């Protein structure tokens, strides 16, 4: 019916490789669009020769509708392609190299504007209507590129409120200020020393006990289970740890609620996506170096964190003593941190492109 609320919806398709970090970037932008009706499609492209050939075909050829559908069938069942067409999207959003070709093909078939997060390999950024790239990717000055400090994410005022309401029945009804502690784990791009992280956590718990704060803690998928076992024993010695969620025992994500309800957050340095989420919630974070063996050669992720902290969105602590001092400084000065708004900027730019 013309003019009905349904027809006024802004229809968006998010194309995902299934990786939570990539999917959250795309969904974060989509959810910031006004009145968005979001369809999530997970493709079947995997690393290998056939996927590389698909990207080559995208770069070297621009065929008609039938050929576009044929190529899409390499990564989507026919039923998913029909869902794409039935949705009639105004925009297609994707993140990562594996999703770049499906994004362009879906845009070509539906006539929608295309948005890619992260620089894809072998596919020129000029093929997309918008490319959202962090500064550490050295994005250049192309008119269709939006440079951000960090990756987009799903943190927004509305989501923070909703998550806090959902989790409040499980969280302590304690009036003391909350320090959130987020523990990551080792990865191919980040060192993680279990003993060093454990010492930092104990230092924060001792500080919290002395200053009458409480600590809420969550581990993550990559957190070693041996470290989770040690954390499970901490409340007996450190009553400041009033609540914790261990990922391998309870596979849920309380981070948005924790950030919203806490005064400040500590996040281990390996967890760049969670650092960006904490910054987007305005809770710092204090980035705790996950290993005392710091490489002289900084990764792209390290450079991203450096830029965030240099811009005032958080602070750094390299060891247990420095962490306690930093927390004390934040309390003494009543330090407030700004909310990183990269995701809102990306959504605003995409909306302007859609409305041209």
- CATH class for the region spanning 5-149+344-354: alpha beta
Q: How high is the pLDDT of residue 201?
A: 98
Distance (Å, whole) CA 276 – CA 152: 8
Q: How high is the pLDDT of residue 60?
A: 81
Distance (Å, whole) CA 88 – CA 91: 9
Q: How high is the pLDDT of residue 1?
A: 43
Query: Is 7 exposed, middle or buried (CB count within 10 Å of its CB: 0-12, 13-18, 19+)?
Result: exposed
Q: How high is the pLDDT of residue 141?
A: 84
The CATH H-level (homologous superfamily) assignment of domain 157-333 is: Glycogen Phosphorylase B; (3.40.50.2000)
Q: How high is the pLDDT of residue 73?
A: 96
**DSSP secondary structure letters along 80-130:** HHHHHHHH--SEEEEESHHHHHHHHHHHHHH--EEEEESPPSSS-GGGSSE
The verdict on whether omega for the bond into residue 285 sits within 30 degrees of 0, i.e. cis, is yes
CB 106 within 8 A of CB 84: yes
8-state DSSP, 92: E
The bridge status of strand 315-317 relative to strand 286-288 is parallel
Q: Mark the ranges of the chain whose per-residue pLDDT is less than 50.
A: 1-2, 5
pTM of the model: 0.90
* Three-state DSSP class for residue 214: strand
Q: Where in the chain is the domain with CATH 3.40.50.2000?
A: 5-149+344-354, 157-333
Of residues 182, 168, 169, 174, the one with CA closest to residue 264: 182
- Cross-strand bridge partners of residue 91: 12, 113
Of residues 163, 159, 142, 155, the one with CA closest to residue 343: 155
Q: pLDDT tens digits, residue range 198-221?
A: 999 999 999 999 999 999 999 999
Q: How high is the pLDDT of residue 295?
A: 64
């Amino acid at each position: 019916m013309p003019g009905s609320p349904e027809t006024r919806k802004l229809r968006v398709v998010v194309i995902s490789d299934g990786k939570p970090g990539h999917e959250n970037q795309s969904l974060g932008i989509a959810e910031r669009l006004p009145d968005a009706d979001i369809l999530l499609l997970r493709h079947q492209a995997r690393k290998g020769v056939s996927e590389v050939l698909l990207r080559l075909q995208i770069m070297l050829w621009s065929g008609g509708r039938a050929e576009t559908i044929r190529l899409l069938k390499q990564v989507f069942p026919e039923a998913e392609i029909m869902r794409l067409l039935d949705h009639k999207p105004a925009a297609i959003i994707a993140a990562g190299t594996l999703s770049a070709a499906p994004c362009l093909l879906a845009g070509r078939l539906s006539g929608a504007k295309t948005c890619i997060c992260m620089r894809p390999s072998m596919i020129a950024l000029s093929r997309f209507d918008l490319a959202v790239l962090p500064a550490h990717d050295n994005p250049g000055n192309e008119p269709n590129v939006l440079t951000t400090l960090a990756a987009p994410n799903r943190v927004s005022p509305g989501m923070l409120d909703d998550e806090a309401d959902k989790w409040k029945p499980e969280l302590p009804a304690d009036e003391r200020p909350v320090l959130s502690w987020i523990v990551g784990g080792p990865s191919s791009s980040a060192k993680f020393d279990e003993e060093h992280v454990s010492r930092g956590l104990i230092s924060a718990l001792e500080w919290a006990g002395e200053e009458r704060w409480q600590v809420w803690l969550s581990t993550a998928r990559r957190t070693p289970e041996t470290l989770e076992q040690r954390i499970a024993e901490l409340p007996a010695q450190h009553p400041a740890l009033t609540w914790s969620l261990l990922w391998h025992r309870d596979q849920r994500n309380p981070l948005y609620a924790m950030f919203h309800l806490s005064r400040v957050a500590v996040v281990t340095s390996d967890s760049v996506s969670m650092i960006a989420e904490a910054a987007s919630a305005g809770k710092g974070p204090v980035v705790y170096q996950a290993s005392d063996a710091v490489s002289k050669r900084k990764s792209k992720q390290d450079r991203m964190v450096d830029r965030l902290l240099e811009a005032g969105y958080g602070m750094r602590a390299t060891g247990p003593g420095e962490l306690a001092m930093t927390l004390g400084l934040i309390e003494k000065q009543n330090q407030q941190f700004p909310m990183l708004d990269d995701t809102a900027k990306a959504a605003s730019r995409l909306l302007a492109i859609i409305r041209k």
